[in-house]
């Protein structure tokens, strides 16, 4: 008899940040695990990206009840973990024999704490969980022998040995995009891992960068273009170009197949990897946009964040992008360790001079497993410990961080100032109006929550 497996994201609930609560892309994690399960297990499987499809919790529970799964797997970020717990609780009442599993960055960062806080979860999958999930479904070994999980047994929470990262990513089949609805955008991964140690990043994929084969990446992109017809494909790698030869070989193939003429595509990467040689190749491949982490304009903050960047590297990267007329996106964060109003102003002035096509400002989030979370927990580096709810761990409407010298209202005020000033400083009035038009829902929600 086939095992019935259902994979989902948490149900759609209250919209706080439309960008994240109403995503325009389906979840890569669901597609990736589903593909590996389909290849290695005898199952009946259903995938529901409830967040993308905007399915409410009651409707999601109803859909799950109709399917009658033996196993439900929920993929959740930190700000979604409470909603995931609510879903699991309802399912436990309706389907008491079903095993409820939780995966994603939150449980990977604090596995025992997650299982303690949310007793509705039966098993937590830590880190890269394709292999762990298959071993669990196939029951090839007992729970205690499956690396990379946390579970409850006789009232105790047990965490098994750490599972090694998958060195050869080509053992993973193409994500099962066919099991999810079509979307305007897709996030794909050509690699896993990031060699840097930013104090605000948990980095669940580790510091070793592992790449897929060029052939498998091209097959995935081609399949998406032909079968899903997306408007955009984004490379979700933490640091595209970390392996220079690999990046050039991939771009050569994309140029040969004229991928950039068939779909908009973009990358995110580290400023250290931006060279003129790479930029020329990206331009030839018709890249639409390059997203870069600037993070701050203050020298001391840049020095201490563990990202390995400085103003010279940042300026060099943006100068090259402008030279070859490639659109840029700059990410900046307010609320770094020992942040002051003056250092925030330095960041705003710095990004005004960089003049990225898309400036993106956020408030620091003390995600579990990061150095920032440790600083907050210990009242260090200008942070005040809070007991903030997980659903406030958001990048704009943020209630998870408290600074000794700057109020949250002031941080939010500077988010508004920064977004406006970049466009005004560079006489980009039309772009400011376009930014407001494209983000009016986010802006409206931000204004409503401003004083809270």
- Assign 3-class secondary structure to 181-219: CCCCEEEECCEECCCCCCCCCCCCCCCCCEECCHHHHHH
Give the list of residues 6+ apart from residue 125 with CB closer than 8 angstroms, or none.
73, 101, 102, 103, 107, 108, 132, 133, 148, 149
Cα 59 from chain centroid (whole Å): 26
pLDDT of residue 450 exceeding 60, the answer is no
Q: Mean pLDDT check: name the lowest of 19-23, 33-37, 123-127, 285-289.
A: 19-23
Q: What is the DSSP letter of 370?
A: S
51, two tokens = 């967040």
Domains of the chain, residue spans: 3-159, 165-174+186-287, 290-298+328-452
DSSP assignment of 246-282: HHHHHHHHHHHHTGGGTSEEEEEE-GGG--HHHHHHH
Banded model confidence at residue 443, pLDDT cuts 50, 70, 90: low
What are the C-alpha distances in Å from 236 to residues 167, 186, 239, 317? 18, 9, 9, 19
Classify residue 214 by burial, with Cβ atoms within 10 Å: 0-12, 13-18, 19+: middle
Asked if the domains 3-159 and 165-174+186-287 are classified in one and the same CATH topology, the answer is: no
Tens of pLDDT along 236-271? 998 899 999 999 999 999 999 999 999 999 999 999
Query: What average pLDDT is seen over the chain?
Result: 94
As a whole number of angstroms, the distance between CA 363 and CA 122 comes to 33
Return the CATH architecture of domain 3-159.
3-Layer(aba) Sandwich (3.40)
Please indicate whether residue 447 or residue 199 has the higher confidence score (pLDDT): 199
| Residues 67, 9: Cα–Cα separation, whole Å | 16
- CATH of the domain spanning 165-174+186-287: 3.30.750.210
Q: Give the mean pLDDT of 288-304.
A: 97
Q: For residue 184, give both structure tokens.
A: 């305007």
User: Model-level pTM?
Assistant: 0.94
């Amino acid at each position: 008899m086939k095992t019935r497996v259902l994979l989902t994201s948490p149900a759609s609930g209250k919209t706080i940040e439309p960008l994240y609560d109403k995503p325009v892309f389906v979840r890569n994690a669901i597609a990736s695990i589903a593909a590996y399960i389909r290849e290695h297990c005898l199952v009946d499987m259903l995938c529901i990206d409830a967040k993308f499809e905007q399915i409410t919790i009651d409707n999601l529970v109803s859909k799950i009840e109709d399917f009658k799964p033996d196993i439900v797997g929920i993929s959740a970020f930190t700000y979604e973990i409470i909603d995931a717990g609510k879903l699991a609780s309802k399912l436990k009442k309706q389907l008491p024999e079903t095993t409820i599993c939780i995966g994603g960055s939150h449980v990977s960062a604090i596995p025992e704490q997650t299982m303690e806080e949310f007793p509705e979860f039966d098993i937590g999958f830590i880190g890269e969980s394709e292999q762990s999930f298959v071993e669990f479904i196939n029951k090839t070994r007992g729970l205690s022998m499956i690396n990379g999980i946390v579970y409850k047994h006789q009232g105790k929470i047990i965490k098994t040995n750490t599972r090694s990262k998958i060195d050869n990513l080509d053992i993973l089949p193409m994500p099962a995009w066919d099991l999810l609805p079509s979307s305007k955008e897709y996030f794909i991964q050509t690699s896993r891992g990031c060699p840097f140690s930013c104090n605000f990043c948990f980095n669940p994929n580790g510091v070793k960068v592992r790449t897929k084969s060029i052939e498998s990446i091209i097959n995935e992109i081609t399949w998406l273009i032909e079968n899903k017809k997306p408007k955009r494909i984004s490379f979700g790698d933490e640091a595209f170009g970390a392996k220079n030869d690999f990046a050039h070989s991939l771009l050569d193939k994309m140029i040969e197949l004229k991928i950039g003429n068939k779909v908009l595509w973009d990358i995110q990467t580290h400023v250290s990897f931006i060279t003129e040689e790479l930029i020329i190749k990206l331009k030839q491949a018709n890249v639409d946009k390059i997203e870069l982490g600037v993070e701050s304009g203050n020298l001391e903050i840049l020095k201490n964040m563990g990202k390995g960047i400085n103003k010279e590297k940042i300026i060099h990267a943006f100068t090259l992008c402008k030279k070859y007329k490639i659109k840029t996106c700059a990410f900046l964060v307010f609320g770094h360790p020992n942040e002051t109003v003056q250092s925030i102003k330095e960041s705003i002035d710095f990004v005004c001079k960089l003049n990225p096509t898309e400036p993106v400002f956020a408030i620091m989030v003390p995600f579990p497993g990061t150095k920032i979370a440790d600083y907050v927990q210990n009242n260090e580096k200008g942070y005040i410990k809070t007991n903030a709810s997980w659903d406030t761990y958001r990048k704009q409407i943020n209630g998870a961080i408290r600074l000794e010298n700057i109020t949250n209202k002031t941080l939010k005020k500077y988010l508004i100032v920064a977004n406006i000033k970049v466009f005004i400083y560079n006489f980009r009035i039309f772009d400011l109006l376009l930014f407001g038009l494209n983000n009016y829902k986010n802006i409206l929600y931000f204004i409503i929550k401003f004083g809270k």
